[in-house]
Structure 1
Amino acid sequence: MSAPTPESAPAPRPAKQRDAFFDNAKYLAIVLVAMGHAMEPLRSGSRTVTAVYMFVYAFHMPAFIVISGYFSRNFDASPAKIKRLVTGIAVPYIVFETAYTLFTRWTDGEPDRAITLLDPLYLTWFLAALFIWRLTTPVWRIVRMPLVVALAVAMLVTLSPTVGKDLDLQRTLQFLPYFVLGLILKPAHFQLVRTRRARIAAVPVLLAGLLVAYWAEPRMNYNWFFHRTGAENLGAASWTGPVMTLALFGCSTVLVAAFLALVPRRRTWFTALGAGTLYGYLLHGFVIQAANHWHWSAHAWTHRPLGEIAATLVAGSVVTVLCTPPVQRVFRFVMEPRMDWAFRRESAKPAEPVKSADAAGPAGPARPAGAR
C-alpha cells in the first residue's frame, strides 16, 4: 500500500488557543493582589487606604480562585493530571516554602526559623490550597449541590478555632466555595458577564462596593476578608462565623462578577502576561518582603495621597515585570519542571485483564510477568 500523499494526509491538529478574556482577568487580578500588599503597611491612620484595601481584598483572591476552579473542571485524577499536579503545584510549593523561610530569616530577623512544609508561609498558602482543592475535584463533580456542601464546610470551619496552621486548612476550607463555584460554572455563565449590559451595571456595583467598604471600615474587622481564622479568634461570637461566611460569599461573588464584566475580551498588551500570573504571584513576595525589611513605609511621603498612589503603581509595575516571558524562562525549571525521571513511563499497550480466582485455580490469581 502506497504512502498517503500530502493532500490525503490528515492535517495536524491546531494548538488550542488561549482565551484572551481569562488571561486578561488573571493578569488584572494578580496586579490587584500586589497592590493590596503594597497598601498593607499604609493602612494605619488612613480610613481611605483601609477602605480601598478592604474593597480589593473582598474580590481579588475570590476572582483568582473562581478562575482556578473553572480551569480545574477536567481534573480526573488520571496519571497525566496527577503528574501535572505534582510538577506544577507540589514541587513549586516545596521550593518556595523553603525559599521564603530562608528569605524571611533575614527580612524578619529570625535566623532560627525552622523550615516546615506543614505551615505555609506568606504566599505559599495558595499552592497548598490549590493542591487540596484540585485533588478533591472528582468529589465535587459527583455530589449533589456541591456549592451548598462547600458553603456548609466553610461555615462550620469558622466555628472551630483549633483548625489553623496545618496546611493552612482554615483558609483553604473558607475559600473552598469560590473554587467549587468555578468548577460548576459553564462557558455560558461567563458569556453573561461579557455583555454590554453587564459592563454598564458593573460600574455602579463596584462604586457601591467601595462606598460600603468606606462605611464599614470603622465598624468592621477587615481580617474577615483573609478567611484564615475562626470567628472566636477575631473577637466575635462563634455564631457570627457562619453568618459572615454567607454574607462575604454573596458580596464577593457580586464583586467578582462586576470585575469580570469590566475585563477586556480582546487581546491587549497585557494578555500574554496572563500565562505568567503564578510567576508574578510567587516572586513578587520577595520584593515586598525586602521592601518591608528596609521600612519603605516609614517615610512620611508614602502616607500622603501621591505617595500611596505611587506605592500601589510601583507594586503593579513590579508584578507586571515578573509575569513577562523572560522571567518565565528563567524560573520555568522551578515553576514547571519536567521531572520525567521521577515518573514511570506509561505502558504503550493496555494491561492484560487479571484472571479471576476461579480461573486461576486453587493457587489464586496468576501474577503478571515481572511482578515480585
Structure 2
Amino acid sequence: MGGTSLQPDSIASAAPAPTHTGSRLQYIDIAKGIAILAVIIGHVAIRMEGLSYGASVVTASCFTFHMPLFFLLSGYFLHYQNQFNWKREARRLLLPYVIAALAIVVLEALTTFFLRDQPQGTSLRHYIWEWFNAAIYGSAEMTDKELWPQAFRIGAIWFLLALFWARFLVTAAYKSRHSGLIVLILALIGDISARNVYLPFSIQAGMTASVYVYLGTLARRHDAMNYLRDHKLMLIPALMVWLYAIMHYNGFSMGTADFGAAPLDIARNIIGSLGGMVSILILSMYIEQDGHWISSHLAEIGRISLLVLVAHIIDDDVIWKGTINMLILASGLGAFKLVIIESIVRCSYTVSLAFMASRSRVIRSLFSLR
C-alpha cells in the first residue's frame, strides 16, 4: 500500500510507509517486527532480571528501544498539518484497546471460574470488577500513586492509550511556532507529575512519549530514513551509544512515564534509545537488502504488530500465569536458559495466534487491517 494515508495495521501507527515505487518500505515493517518481538522478550526477561546477569542485559536491550521506536515511527507518519481526527484516531487506537481489555476481563472470568480458584475471600463478581477497574484505569503497572486503588494493571496495551494522547498533543503543538518547546514542556510535566500521582488513561505516559512522536515528525521533515540508508556506517556509533545505555541501565519505563530517577539517567535513556532505534532501523535496512527469507517473515509480523500486541497482553495477563509457566519453572533450568526457552515459546504461539486472527474478516475490520 502506498501514498500517505493513515495506516492502522501496526502499533506504530497509523500510516503506510511512504514509498518510492508504490509499495511499502519493507525495512520499516521489519523494524516493527523486531520491536514487537522485543516487547514479548522484554516482558519475559524482566521477571528473571534479579536472577541472571544475562536476563538483565536482555531486559535493558529491549526496554531501551522497543516502545521508543513505535512512538517514533508513529510520529514519522503523523499528518500534523491536519486537524486531529478524534473519530479516526479513536477507532484505530481506542477501539483495539477496548477489545483487548474486554477480552482480558472475559478470559479472566472464564479461567478463574473453570480452572482456578478466585483469591481467598473474594467473590468471582468482585474479582472480575477489579479487572474492569484495571481496564478503565489503563495503567501499565501498579505504582501505589493511582487516584483510586488498583488490584491489577492492564499491562502492555497502555501503549494504545498513550499513543492516542501523544499523537493529539504533538498535532496540537504544531499549531504553534514553538512546537518543540511545547512538547518538551509537556513531557517534563508528565514526568514530574507522575512521580507524585499517576493519572488514569495513560495520560502522563502519552505526555512523555510525545517527545518521540515529535522526533518522528522531525525525522520525516529532514528525510532521516534516506540519510540512514545512504550512511549505514552510522550503525557503528549508534551501536556504541546503545551499548553504553544498556550497560548502565537502571530502569526506563515509558508505561509509567518514568524516564529515570535523575537527570543523568533521563539523558542516558533518551540518548541511548536514539542509538537503539537507529541501530534497529539500519539493521532492518540490511535485512531488507539481503532479501533473506527472514525479511519477509519479520515484515509480516511488523504489519500485524497491533494484533501481536493484543495477543501478547492476553497471554501475559491470562494464559501464562497458569500451567505452562509452572511446567517451565519445574524444569530446574537456570534463569537465563528459562528466558531463552520462554521467549521462543511465547513469541512463537503469540505470533501464530495473531496470524490466525488476522485471517478473520471481523478481526481485520475491527483492527482496521488491510
Query: TM exceeds 0.5?
Result: yes
Aligned to 2:204: 170
Structure 1 residue identity aligned to 2:316: I
Deviations 1:323-364 (A, max 9, x none): 43x4213222432399xxxxxxxxxxxxxxxxxxxxxxxxxx
d(CA) in 2 for partners of 1:165, 1:48: 34
Label 1:56 to 1:70 Cα distance change in 2 as closer, same or farther (>3 A): same
Contact 1:274 1:323 in 2 (8 A): no
Q: Which of 87, 90, 94 does residue 90 from structure 1 map onto?
A: 94
How far has the Cα of 1:83 moved from its partner? 3.8
Aligned to 1:138: 171
d(CA) in 1 for partners of 2:199, 2:106: 19
**Correspondence 1:312 to 2:338:** no
Structure 2 residue identity aligned to 1:329: R
Contact 2:103 2:314 in 1 (8 A): no
**Correspondence 1:206 to 2:239:** yes
Deviations 1:277-313 (A, max 9, x none): 1011111222233112333453354535443322222
Label 1:211 to 1:74 Cα distance change in 2 as closer, same or farther (>3 A): closer
**Correspondence 1:45 to 2:51:** yes
Deviations 1:23-78 (A, max 9, x none): 11111111111111222322231122112201210111101111111122357237
Aligned to 2:296: 269
**Correspondence 1:251 to 2:272:** yes
Structure 1 residue identity aligned to 2:162: A
Aligned to 1:284: 312
Contact 1:68 1:182 in 2 (8 A): yes
Q: Which of 194, 214, 227 does residue 192 from structure 1 map onto?
A: 227
TM-score normalised by length of structure 1: 0.72
Could you tell me which runs of 5 or more consecutive residues in structure 1 were left unpaired when the two chains were aligned: 1-14, 339-372
Q: Which of 127, 137, 141 does residue 119 from structure 1 map onto?
A: 137
Contact 1:32 1:316 in 2 (8 A): no
Aligned to 2:357: 327
Aligned to 1:62: 68
Alignment of 1:224-263 (within 5 A): 224-226=252-254, 228=256, 240=262, 242-263=263-284
d(CA) in 1 for partners of 2:314, 2:105: 11
State percent identity of aligned pairs. Answer: 20
Secondary structure at the counterpart of residue 359 of structure 2: helix
Q: Which of 12, 21, 24 does residue 27 from structure 2 map onto?
A: 21
Deviations 1:100-151 (A, max 9, x none): 2343455795642151454111122111112222333432323334334323
Label 1:145 to 1:298 Cα distance change in 2 as closer, same or farther (>3 A): farther
Structure (1 or 2) with the larger CA radius of gyration: 1
Structure 1 residue identity aligned to 2:192: L
Cα RMSD between the aligned structures?
Answer: 3.2
Aligned to 1:182: 216
How far has the Cα of 1:203 moved from its partner? 4.8
How far has the Cα of 1:194 moved from its partner? 1.7
Contact 1:100 1:286 in 2 (8 A): yes
Greater percentage in helix: 2
Contact 1:72 1:134 in 2 (8 A): yes
Contact 1:87 1:337 in 2 (8 A): no
d(CA) in 1 for partners of 2:273, 2:241: 13
Deviations 1:137-183 (A, max 9, x none): 43232333433432332223322234414112232222221111112
Label 1:142 to 1:192 Cα distance change in 2 as closer, same or farther (>3 A): same
Contact 1:27 1:274 in 2 (8 A): yes
How far has the Cα of 1:204 moved from its partner? 6.2
Label 1:146 to 1:39 Cα distance change in 2 as closer, same or farther (>3 A): same
d(CA) in 2 for partners of 1:302, 1:152: 47
d(CA) in 2 for partners of 1:127, 1:279: 12
Secondary structure at the counterpart of residue 321 of structure 2: helix
d(CA) in 1 for partners of 2:312, 2:204: 24
Deviations 1:214-239 (A, max 9, x none): 4x36xx3x2x33451568xx8x5xxx
TM-score normalised by length of structure 2: 0.72
Structure 1 residue identity aligned to 2:73: I
